[in-house]
Chains A and B, each alone.
Chain A
Amino acid sequence: MGKFYIFLFFVVSSQVVLAQTYFGRLIGHHGESIRGATIATSPDQRKLKTDSSGYFSFEKKKSEQIRITMVGYAPMTMALGKALDLGTIQLSHVDNQLDEVIVNTGYYKLNKNMLTGSFATVDQKTITRNPAGNILDRLEGVTSGLQFDRSLSVGENKFPNALRVRGISSIESSTEPLIILDNFPYEGDINAINPNDIESVTVLKDAAAAAIWGAKAGNGVIVLTSKKGNLSTPLRFSFQSNWQLTKKPDLHYNRQFIPAKDMMEFEEYLYGKGNYYNMESLYIPDYVGLLFKRDAKEIAVEDFGTIKAQMQQQDIRQEAKKLLYRSALSQRYAIQARGGAERSSYFISGSYDYNPQSIIGNGDQRLTFNIDHDLKIGNRLTVNTYLRYVADKVQQNGYRLQQLTASGSGLSPYVFLQNTDGTPASVNYQFNHAYRDRAESEGLLDWTFSPLVDRDRRDISSFSKQLTLGAGLNYKIGRGFSIDVKYRYQHQAVKQQNLYDADSYFVRNLINQFTQADGTRVIPLGGIKDGQNSEIIGHNGRIQLDYTRQWSVEHQLVALAGAEISQNTLSRDVGYRLYGYRADNGTSLMNLDYSKQYTMRPNGASVIPATPFEERFTVDRFISYFANATYLLNRTHGLSGSVRWDASNLFGVKTNQRGVPLWSLGLSEQLLPLLGDHANWLDKLTLRTTYGYSGNVNNTISAYPSMRISSANLTTGLPYAKLTSAGNPNLRWEKLATVNLGLDFSVLQQRVSGSVDYYVKSGKDLIGPNYLDPSTGISPEGTSYYIDNRINYANLRTNGLDLNLSVRALQGVVKWDINLLWSMTKNKITKYMANSNLSMDQMVSNAQPRVGYTRDALYAWHFNGISTENGQLITPNGDQEYAKYAANATLDDIRFMGADFPPYQGSMRHHIGYKGFELSANLEWKNGFYFRRNTIDYFKLFYSGIGHQDYLKRWQAPGDELMTTVPAVPATMDLYRDALYTNSELMIEKGDYIRLSDVRLSYQLPMGKKGRLSVFGYVRNVGILCRANKVGLDPDAVAAAYPAPRTYTVGVQLEW
């Protein structure tokens, strides 16, 4: 092939010599031919391209100079002289250009064109676009193959967004990707990373990319790379600040609500049926308490009427919105300095974030400091040292709407936070009103609870400090060899400190509970302070031999081999509790008898809790050996391979199963040379393919019988242990095989570029629960197994497609860039080895793996309408024998409704620039999935007072069945009936939606020579543009009390 071109060149050049033709060859930094570079002549304005070997030629005509441009290389201008042979022209590389991304895997950095695996990179500009204080939040919607599952939040309990890199590869084990910060796994709190210090993010998606991380890499790897200084660059400062306003949450979003008037009617109905028991201490709803009082003639009829009317007018949500929540204004400040002399470079940064939360009384603050230094000693040795320090404080004093009751019952809609005169009201919290109100007359302390007051009477804070020290040595031995030694020390100390004032509910309640029948107080008056300290100490060390060699244009090899050792220690002390604590002088009382069992009010017995905490101490140790090599032939044929062996001290895993060898192989091929010059419009076409294994560590399983020791039992006051596993000698590590096939392309002079990746991941020996004969002693309590029932139980196949497309639509005065990300992910259980003992009701409410179906399966009961006679549900059998129907149901009786995790996700980001203005917006969409909405569950309503607005649409009289599908209030409870209805196909909604996630507008002001000042405005969670479900639910907040509120941010960025 090459010979042919050279021949062609001679033929062509021998002809053009006569016609005064310039000719030459373009090569890169490493001597590689540069194909497809643009050569523009001036002033006669002609354009041509270099061929696949970098050669070019053009007629002299009136040309005086040429300008050579090629993405990834610095442009070059050259005057034309008399000599027609321009010789070999070398262009120098430029980093951070599109398609010339340096990918950092945490072990090595490679130019993207040497890669065989699948990577997603997020550059500095994209990271800065979203001003969120958490680095992972900034990746949402802008990272190919990274999926955020926000549907895990239930009520107001916010769970961190679960991340999936290319879907799931495990069932019960963690699906969280491994996070690498500066070459080592990051074990701390992700919120402790200052996003302003992060230069770039790389997501390692396939086996070739992730296998180097071995047993921890099965869920994908996210590599965060910090900013550094550059040699021989002048000192530069930058400063960022923003203010973010978070709107009050939408408390009306939660459909589990029945208005006061209707709820009171219902409670009166239950009261009439005798469903409430007025026991001295037992919690009953306020209105029921009032009814008891009325019937006991303890309240005048007119007073009853007044209070009832007041209750009927009340909507706790309105009051809570005003008194428990606020619009929160966050402030963030960050400053960086970077620069470098001839032999040393540095990066120093600091930041401060202040984030009050929407719930009054809650908030957090973060302070970070970071210094990174590189020193070159001689020509061979580079020494890198860094120090990072983070301090943060989280305060949780506030009460949320759902925390206004401690009884386990639902919140009554007519609860008052304030009395009519504006004073804080006593909220029906834990015990019966009457019991509570009688307290003081019986010599107890006031037992009332007012959230508005109580949030100021407690200080529940957690302080965390994190110090990271790192050092690295890189020594160039010569002949392409270099040796790299890295060490990192990480220390995170967390201090949890809870301070309850003497008049806080917590203290009064505890004192009252422990007040004996004769009135003696076991718990002394005064405040209570308790807390616990914990510490994570990590050591990571690595020694690595690198080899980089380029023999000629034909052969290029990058290889490495090394070993790594790590130890992570988590220790949490047993904590303390001080009774009779006085904050003013720090004294407390020590004369308590912790050994004696005391009777408690209203019932029970216990020793005085000396500390509510448990000690914990774990050590994780890993030893790994690894090697990786990439070979490039003729810059067109690439071959890569990696091996890794991990061993750890995982509890109970038998010695011979401790270690696990993992490997990967990859091939890449530049297709352009094969196409010849016919595809001139193509700039790049590379095919990549890889295959390999990574693993998934599960450190909670045990091959031996095991037990967990608890330090003290509140009954006996003595330490004890609970059996946690009967032992399973056959347990193996989960293993994941991944095939990836990728194509990178770029056309029309990089105007359109992108990649497509197809992958198949096969998870083997996945660990999950087995359903055992309960005579083994292994059976659930509630829904939890305290004794391990897990085995290697299933195989899972996940396949999918990642598409990544960038279009530079306009490049003139107005710049318009479009970035499109799209992914398809599907999974299927291919093997299931556990005993199946599921009732169909369990299958519907909590889908279990089923061969041939997705792990994200959603099942539902058939809905067969409601009866015209009594408004009750009709089973698919046409009768009303719910228990019988549910008990006899088989898999044929339930309907597979689809997946509850979106198999298709995409985002499209537009970016328009005009002079100093930049406007960008990101659209995200998810489709092909379903979710189950909640509805009225009469069992919950009867038993816990948890309502639902569907109650208002219930069947009430014959004929209603034509208008509604909501069954009538039943006369008696039937769990089967509620299950058949709440889990029926009626509740399954299509999840598809398109969301405008954010809009950003910025303006850059000219400021001196090198200075830059830009201001920006940013709106996040702008809104859902269209959704498939008709009930107005946000598919990302199905079980949550409200969707993530919209935020508005304004900020400045200053550089000088």
Chain B
Amino acid sequence: MKKLIILGLTIALTSACNPDFLDIKRDRKQVIPESLDDFNLLLGDVSLFSGSSAASMRSAAAEEFTLSESAWDLITTFGEKNAYRWQDERFMDTECPDWNYGYKRILSAHIILEGLSKIERTGANANVYDQVKGKALFHRANAYFQLASEFAAPIGDEEHNAYGLPLRKSADPQEVSIRSSVSETYNSILEDLLAAQQLLGVESTDFYQPSKSTAYALSARVYLAMGRYNDALEAAKTVLDGAGKLLNYQNFSASSRYSFPSRGVGNSEILFYDQGYSTESVAPTKGRINADLITSYAENDLRKNLFFKLESDGLYSYKGSYVGSSSVFTGLALDEMYLIYAECLIRAGQVQLGLDKLNELLVTRFAKNTYQEYKGLEKNAALDLVLLERRKQLLIRGLRWIDLRRFNFIENRNIQLHRALAGEMYTLMAKDLKFTFLAPNNVIVNSKVIQFPR
């Protein structure tokens, strides 16, 4: 008996020692991302890569709409509240969502890129491998560009070229952030986009997954912001040469609460879907579109009724977001490509070609058979026209702020912004330092990032 027991004990103890027993994964849903499938699942997180872009501060600051005192009072996000009047008081909740959401995308992109470097690219997996890598690079570039538009010094402001974004080198939280220069920041964005253009496929399952033309579309936007109009022209041309179809605004009803389908369902103009995580101020309950903008739309311009709603206070709220709700659309759409292409053609001296492209777009924005094509304008008038149409078509997309920085710092157009709130006047000078938002305090405290001067 005793021997039996000792034998039993031995078996029990040694079998328990078998290391396989403890090697089982604890949670089937909790995974260490290692395979291409895993990375594709991460790329499927649309609420991260397409649902929470960093746009609330630049939307509020770009002077496209005004807020009544009580509407301003009802805004809960301090960043947005302060950006509206170009003040930079330290936020009470020290988190700055615009900064945070941007860098969340970058972290996930890094996890994917670092994971890819541990997988061998073989003949069998090359296609998927390249797609995954291209998408991760695209998302990184997109996030850095959005962040740079708010927190890096404007291009053209040579004096502050040292104030670029902190460019993270890895997913490691131990890595200490340090600012790169503005040129390094944009070079990195372009480098990612060039690589993504090569890696990504022509086809895409839906507008949440970037394709080759999406990468070109973002390049066009970035080049334009940098004042590299010829490069922007080329990139926009590549996009326009591909698939994609303009919406015909005649097919939309102005009586709907929001004029365009929710979440862009069936919107053929959308190349890449992205929306701001939250922008309280442009919601129809608060924001009122500037009167000068409203009056710039012709009576037969369908956008006047599709984009705006006359409220009981006699002012207009915005309802034309491609998100189909009060959220800001920050993705890439075909209309923007038309406008970039037209602008760059005009700048390059091909004025009529540019006007033709503009006409091609605008005819879909007007009531049937009422559109009068633009012809024979001289270059400056044509440029003014295309820039105004850009403003009218692409409003409330977070792009105006980027344009204003370009106009003031690269083109010296000397545009000043003014705002009245609660009996106080606020002015943003053309080359105001406040065209760059301060880095959040919790970044300054916990890293080597130097605060932008004031």
Contact = CB atoms under 8 A, between A and B. Distances in A.
Interface stretch (B67-75, B126-134, B191-199): B67-75
B46 A605 contact: no
Contacts of B105: 777
Interface string A469-495: 000000101000001010000000000
A597 B12 contact: no
A716 B176 CA distance: 36
Nearest to B2: A477
Contacts of A591: none
Contact of B26 (A650, A707, A716): A650
Interface in B21-52: 21-33, 38, 41-42, 44-48, 51
B263 A883 contact: no
A776 B48 contact: no
A789 B107 CA distance: 13
A780 B95 contact: yes
A887 B106 CA distance: 30
B74 A707 contact: no
Given A616-B29, A617-B28, A619-B25, A273 B442 contact: no
Interface stretch (A8-16, A277-285, A368-376, A384-392): A277-285
B44 A716 contact: yes
A658 interface: yes
A424 B407 CA distance: 63
A232 interface: no
Given A621-B22, A649-B23, A603 B262 contact: yes
A707 B31 contact: yes
Contacts of B21: 565, 621, 623, 649
B263 A604 contact: yes
Contacts, number: 255
A844 to B, nearest CB: 12
A620 interface: yes
A416 to B, nearest CB: 27
A578 to B, nearest CB: 25
Given A273-B70, A777-B104, A706 B31 contact: yes
A837 B442 contact: yes
A314 B216 CA distance: 63
Contact of B70 (A274, A658, A787): A274
B421 to A, nearest CB: 11
Interface string A710-749: 1001011011111110111000000000000000000000
A603 to B, nearest CB: 5
Contact of A721 (B12, B33, B69, B208): B33
B162 interface: no
Contact of A604 (B33, B70, B325): B325
A391 B17 CA distance: 37
Interface string B353-393: 00000000000000000000000000000000000000000
Interface string A1006-1020: 000000000000000
B142 to A, nearest CB: 15
B298 interface: no
A282 B24 contact: no
B244 interface: no
Interface stretch (A58-66, A301-309, A766-774): A766-774
A886 B92 contact: yes
Interface residues of B, number: 88
Interface string A961-974: 00000000000110
B440 interface: yes
Contact of A774 (B28, B30, B100): B100
A545 interface: yes
A790 B78 CA distance: 27
A557 interface: no
Nearest to B444: A773
B22 A648 contact: yes
B257 interface: yes
Given A649-B26, A650-B26, A707-B33, A778 B107 contact: yes
B243 interface: no
Interface string A911-924: 00000000000000
Contacts of A277: 284-286
Interface residues of A, number: 94
Contact of A618 (B26, B74, B440): B26
B447 interface: yes
Contacts of B263: 597, 604-605, 715
A1002 to B, nearest CB: 49
A699 B445 contact: no
B26 A777 contact: no
Given A726-B111, A777-B104, A649 B24 contact: yes
Interface in B202-260: 206, 208, 256-258
Nearest to B50: A715
B449 interface: yes
A839 interface: yes
A718 B442 CA distance: 36
A903 interface: no
Contact of B175 (A615, A619, A710, A776): A776
Contact of A563 (B12, B25, B104): B12
Nearest to B171: A726
B177 interface: yes
Contact of A975 (B51, B92, B171): B92
A377 interface: no
B295 interface: no
A282 B285 contact: yes
Given A279-B285, A618-B27, A726-B173, 6 more contacts: A716-B44, A721-B45, A837-B442, A842-B93, A842-B94, A973-B74
Interface of B: 1-2, 5, 8-9, 12-13, 16-17, 21-33, 38, 41-42, 44-48, 51, 68-70, 73-74, 76, 78, 89-90, 92-96, 99-100, 103-108, 110-111, 115, 166, 168, 171-173, 175-177, 206, 208, 256-258, 261-263, 265, 284-286, 312-313, 324-325, 422, 440, 442-443, 445-447, 449
15 contacts: A277-B285, A565-B16, A599-B262, A605-B262, A605-B265, A707-B31, A715-B47, A720-B45, A773-B176, A773-B442, A776-B107, A777-B110, A779-B100, A972-B70, A976-B92
